[in-house]
Amino acid sequence: MGPSTVGPMGELIVLRHGETEWSRGGRHTGRTDVPLTPRGEDQARSLPSLLEGRRVVRTLSSPAERARRTAELAGLRVDDVDPDLWEWDYGGYEGITSAEIREERPGWFLWDDGVIAGDAGHPGESVRQVGERADAVLERARPLLADGNVALVAHGHVLRVLTARWLGLEPALGRLFALDTGTLSTLGAEHGRPVITSWNVPSR
């Protein structure tokens, strides 16, 4: 699928939530609602300096408390809590590090090999399913860009997939876009074609 042509518009402001204990330890954090660490809150409080001069007409947030708290500390009012902005459902790998997974599955790589099913609360998702959710978010966000910038506050992997889809790439190519906690990125257009206008800018 190639990138679609877009007209004059605002940008998508992509914010990954601040640090949590699990993100600091490299544990896969999908649907478990882990709060921000003190450092994560500091990261979020520093985001307004990156938002300065950017008029945000709408803010969409993941339902996770760590995302909503990041938006609040960044000075953004959440207009819509969007379930499609939840992080990748890691299934049976929830709370486990990549190193621990590779003890059982040598060479395992999330973007290529996916996850295994977990319990009822963590059934797991394929990268294609995450891509379908990202497409749904973009479908809702694109019309809003006619009025200005739209902020999306969510998680590392889902935002990487969303970026790939913005560019017209396959969902698994989200692996190309490393994204740290407490960062701001922007997605816009050049000559009517979707582009990344900034990426992984730290809050401090």
CA within 13 Å, CB half, 138 = 23
For the chain, give the mean pLDDT.
Answer: 95
Is 122 annotated as catalytic?
no
Query: Which residues have a Cβ under 8 Å from the Cβ of 2 and sit 6 or more positions away?
Result: 168
Domain ranges across the chain: 12-88+126-202
Among 11, 19, 41, 87, the active-site one is 87
User: 143-193: per-residue pLDDT in tens?
Assistant: 999 999 999 999 999 999 999 999 999 999 999 999 999 999 999 999 989
Is 87 annotated as catalytic?
yes
Is 15 in a helix, a strand, or coil?
strand
User: 34-48: per-residue pLDDT in tens?
Assistant: 999 999 999 999 999
Query: Which residues have a Cβ under 8 Å from the Cβ of 104 and sit 6 or more positions away?
Result: none
* Confidence band for 9, pLDDT divided at 50, 70 and 90: confident
Output the CA angle 189-195-200, nearest 5 degrees.
Answer: 120
Per-residue model confidence (pLDDT) at position 4: 52
Per-residue model confidence (pLDDT) at position 46: 96
1 pLDDT above the threshold of 50: no
The CATH code of the domain at 12-88+126-202 is 3.40.50.1240
Query: Which residues have a Cβ under 8 Å from the Cβ of 84 and sit 6 or more positions away?
Result: 133, 134, 136, 137
Among 11, 17, 41, 122, the active-site one is 17
80 pLDDT above the threshold of 80: yes
**Based on C-alpha coordinates, what's the Rg of the chain?**
16
| Tokens coding 7 | 């007209």
* Confidence band for 203, pLDDT divided at 50, 70 and 90: confident
